């Protein structure tokens, strides 16, 4: 049976605590789909694969449980959380509100350098769409939304958005897998940037909310 997690992901001599490395490795495995919804996390197997003891693994599992990525069930242990269609819609509803607020706040606090960075991301995204490098498009899309969250100058909001977006990554690899949606998304990004740059928080929020709703409609179309 192939390893779920590469042992190279753990560096015993690193300054990063083992519990953090184990948490990161497991989280990446869940978000990438290597550990699927409903799948049980067998502690002995993970410890063997990573070459760690149960202590850092269990600390990592508690953190993942707090993020909602796993559930610890009686007689089953740690299981990757399954999201129902209702959960998925609720998740997008929260994301809509949070990302709308972030765009609104960013219009008040963003710097010229940050605006330029957002514009650069949009330009890079367009090149990758034309080259049909969809993996790069997805990465740039994530970078765009993280930059807007950062520009909100609200660390709590930023953390919530990062957590919600991590959960959303489990629902679909990305609505951007469709090149036509990728170009639509890019144009929506540019409108959001224009509103933030102009200091129009209300419009930026409305556009950001609309952007999330369009992504939801594409991503969840098969289950609705």
Question: Cα–Cα distance between 98 and 103 in angstroms, integer?
Answer: 9
Which comes out higher in pLDDT, residue 187 or 217? 187
- Please, are residues 24 and 67 in contact by the beta-carbon 8 Å criterion? no
Instruction: Establish whether domains 7-80 and 85-223 are of one fold.
Output: no
pLDDT of residue 224: 44
132-158 as b/e, with b when 16 or more CB fall inside 10 Å? eebeebbbbbbbbbbbbbbbbebeebb
Name the least confident of 3-12, 82-91, 117-126, 143-152. Answer: 3-12
Question: Region 12-17: what's the mean pLDDT?
Answer: 82
Which comes out higher in pLDDT, residue 139 or 170? 139
Where are the chain's structural domains?
7-80, 85-223
Which comes out higher in pLDDT, residue 145 or 178? 145
Task: Tell me the CATH architecture of domain 85-223.
Answer: Up-down Bundle (1.20)
**CATH code for the structural domain at 7-80:** 1.10.10.10
Tokens of 101: 């607020």
pLDDT digits (tens, 9 = 90+) for 137-168: 988 999 999 999 999 999 999 999 988 887 77
- Please, are residues 105 and 147 in contact by the beta-carbon 8 Å criterion? no
Average pLDDT, the chain: 89
199 falls in which pLDDT band (50, 70, 90)? very high
Q: What pTM value is reported for the model?
A: 0.79
CB count in 10 Å sphere of residue 127 = 12
pLDDT digits (tens, 9 = 90+) for 33-46: 788 889 999 999 99
Q: What does R_g of the chain's alpha carbons equal in angstroms?
A: 19
Is pLDDT above 90 for 218? no
3 falls in which pLDDT band (50, 70, 90)? low
């Amino acid at each position: 049976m192939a390893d779920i997690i590469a042992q190279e992901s753990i560096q015993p001599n690193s300054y990063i605590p083992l519990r953090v490395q184990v948490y990161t490795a497991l989280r990446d495995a869940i978000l990438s789909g290597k550990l699927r919804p409903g799948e049980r996390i067998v502690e002995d197997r993970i410890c063997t694969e990573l070459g760690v003891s149960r202590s850092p693994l269990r600390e990592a599992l508690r953190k993942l449980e707090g993020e909602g990525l796993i559930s610890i069930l009686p007689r089953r242990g740690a299981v990757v959380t399954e999201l129902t269609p209702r959960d998925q819609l609720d998740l997008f509803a929260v994301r809509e509100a949070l990302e709308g607020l972030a765009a609104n706040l960013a219009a008040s606090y963003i710097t010229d350098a940050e605006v330029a960075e957002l514009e650069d991301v949009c330009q890079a995204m367009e090149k990758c769409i034309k080259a049909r490098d969809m993996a790069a498009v997805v990465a740039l899309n994530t970078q765009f939304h993280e930059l807007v969250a950062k520009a909100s100058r609200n660390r709590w909001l930023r953390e919530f958005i990062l957590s919600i977006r991590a959960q959303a990554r489990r629902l679909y690899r990305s609505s951007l897998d469709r090149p036509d949606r990728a170009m639509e998304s890019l144009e929506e990004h540019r409108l959001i940037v224009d509103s933030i740059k102009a200091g129009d928080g209300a419009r930026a929020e409305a556009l950001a909310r609309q952007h999330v709703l369009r992504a939801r409609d594409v991503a969840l179309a098969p289950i609705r």
